[in-house]
Amino acid sequence: MIEINEKIALEHGLKKDEYKKICELLRRNPNITELGIFSAMWNEHCSYKSSRKHLKKLNTKGKKVIQGPGENAGVVDIGDNDAIVFKIESHNHPSFIEPYQGAATGVGGILRDVFTMGARPIANLNSIHFGSPSNKKTRNLLRGVVQGIGGYGNCMGVPTVAGQTSFDESYNGNILVNAMTLGLVKKDKIFYSKATGLNKPVIYVGSKTGRDGIHGASMASAKFDDRIEEKKPTVQVGDPFTEKLLLEACLELMKDDSIIAIQDMGAAGLTSSSVEMASKGKLGIKLNLNKVPCREENMTPYEIMLSESQERMLIVLETGKENKAKEIFDKWNLDFSVIGKTTDTKKIELYFNNERVVNIPIDYLSAQAPEYDRKWKKSKTPQKINYKKKDFKKLKITEILKKVISSPNVCSKEWIWEQYDHTVMGDTIQKPGGDAGVVRVHGTQKAIAASVDSSASYCYAHPLSGGKQVVCETWRNLISVGAEPIAITNCLNFGNPEKPENMGEFVECVQGLNEASKYLDFPVVSGNVSFYNETKDQGIKPTPTIGGIGLIKNYKDMLTMDLKEFGNLLFVVGKTEGHIDQSIFAKEILNERKGPPPEINLFNEKNNGVTIIKLIKDKLVESVHDVSLGGIITGIAKMCIKARKGAKIYKYKGLLDKFEYYFSEDQGRYIIEVKKDNIEKVKKILDNNSNHYDLIGEVIKDNVEIDDEPTLSVDKILELNKNWLKNYMLN
């Protein structure tokens, strides 16, 4: 028997004072299995020990919120007894170590979070972030991650309808892979993870348990160093075909009243699932580990409890329902085993070879897990860059547009999303490449829009503003397709929280996120925190990722960003202040990376969004696209690309420098296309609602014409936009 000491505890990722607290709670030294369980439940990934204090401040309530944070996923009401279950989670560290399996099992895990609650998954999204294109690892990491996402999602038969990809040198040593899933469920058939009742059978279903993924949760809360290859055994191995069987078997069992509670075995596997179910129900749980189906010989209690083998569920059943449940899982060729029962002890008790090998009060692992109030450092607002007229003297708008539209973070990501099945199930009505993905609610007139966004540069420059911005960006993307925004999920990717500057980024980002969420009535219903995203003490830029959903009551009212008809006029709704700090223009053209992000005016943000929704509902606009990376001209160019139509941009006569006007990234703005017959109606609504607007151009054939500069063909813009990533991946 291994004698447990402080050195072994530290090797498990625990701190000295944490190990001391464990010994004090137990009034003895833990054994190796107990130590492993504590290390899993007390790490950042499971306990949120550095973030809980601040996450409690988030706006989580709303008229349509059925379930907020604290369950496997959030749930919102979309009417007619229908509800949407959704969540986003990270799988960053595993994807950097082994990109295919890391990304694949990230998709598998978030799918289980959704169907565990009784929902059939209807859409996947992702937000993936890679190092500089010049970094030698970037290309292979990107290829592996995309193949992993597509490989798992496609096999599951769930469409991938939207996503986001970015490149930045801060991800050279630590890529980000955030996966999001939406599911559809009837409000009266939602399942939860809270165990209730005594002596209820605890059931293991799904795949057998192996040695893959052991310490996966702990590894997710660790920094990387030169020994990264040694961590490959901690990466889970996925089997989407088995998960498809598990999905169908669980949904079949959920048709009656057999299930009391259900929890997927994700991070920390059987440990977290059993502890969480018992903790929520204020019960105990007793398990016989000899009854856990194992695919490898001589597995120890430690290995069984810490394995993160995929495609597994833990279920608390009503007494007497075991045989019926077993028949269902046998039919789907899945393992089924009664491995324990609920108790009144409020302890987790584990038996192996007729010996009790674990005896821990549940509260020690949950309620009494550490909660830290980390020191944090407030960010300074960067000084605005004072650009001189000479900086712009030799610039040509068309040449700038060509560089911006083909830059890594603006270019088309078609090479990525064409590897995903985005039409399976037959309800996708807006595929990737637009402002948001849209899927019909099968058999109804309703549709759900979904978008995922992040903005590391803005957050790095000023975390408070960046936190607000990323929520607003998601809000605008949903509005642009005609959806009324309902709620968001977040995946908060940051560096080492033990460093005050990193913790400060987190605290201020969360504050900004919360301010925007409250003002826009856009509550947070689920989420995930990923800390320690750093290698050799070099952390990533703070990257809060926001996934949002919205409702379109009649899918025929959905809007797309492609220009519709020659002669229609183009307006910019929202005031352009000329902010180019932190813009693509500043980085790609002026080689300037300093300065503050654009300011967020939440009143204007909400007012402009509400007005755009009204214009869409009144059928007064033909297309809408929000203004984001690359500014107005880039936004119009993308609308041209989608439609294979051109645009004539009228000569700018305002007070700003024309480059500031065309390429600034001021927030809260939309480009709208309006028929001439509707101009006066649109203007009246904009004026009545006090929305600033500019008439900027009109739709023409084939070319983009700007001032007196050389004409740029839409075909050329399309080529530049589409080819960068494709050519990069061919090299």
From the candidates 45, 93, 129, 462, which is the catalytic residue?
45
Q: Virtual CA dihedral for 477, 480, 482, 483, nearest 10 degrees?
A: 10
Contacts of 636 (CB under 8 A, 6+ apart): 570, 647, 649, 671, 696, 697, 704
Distance CA 405, CA 719 (A): 10
Angle between helices 714-730 and 138-156 (to 10 degrees): 100
The C-alpha angle 308, 348, 279, rounded to 5 degrees, equals 85
The full DSSP string for 250-266 is: HHHHTTTT-EEEEEE--
Sign of the torsion formed by the C-alpha atoms of 325, 331, 336 and 338: positive
Nearest to 157 by CA among 425, 440, 419: 425
Q: Determine the Cα–Cα distance for residues 44 and 56; give it in Å rounded to an integer.
A: 16
Rg (CA), the chain: 26
Residues 6+ away with beta carbon under 8 Å from 241: 155
Longest dimension (CA), the chain: 86
What span, in angstroms and rounded, lies between the C-alpha atoms of 83 and 75?
7
Clarify whether 91 is annotated catalytic: yes
Cβ–Cβ < 8 Å for 530, 491: yes
Contact residues for 563 (Cβ-Cβ < 8 A; gap 6+): 622, 623, 639, 640, 642, 643, 645, 647, 673, 699
- Tell me the C-alpha distance between 211 and 557, whole Å: 51
**Side chain identity at residue 26, one-letter code:** L
Q: Residues 91, 129, 462, 579: which is the catalytic one?
A: 91
Which residues are tagged catalytic?
A: 45, 91
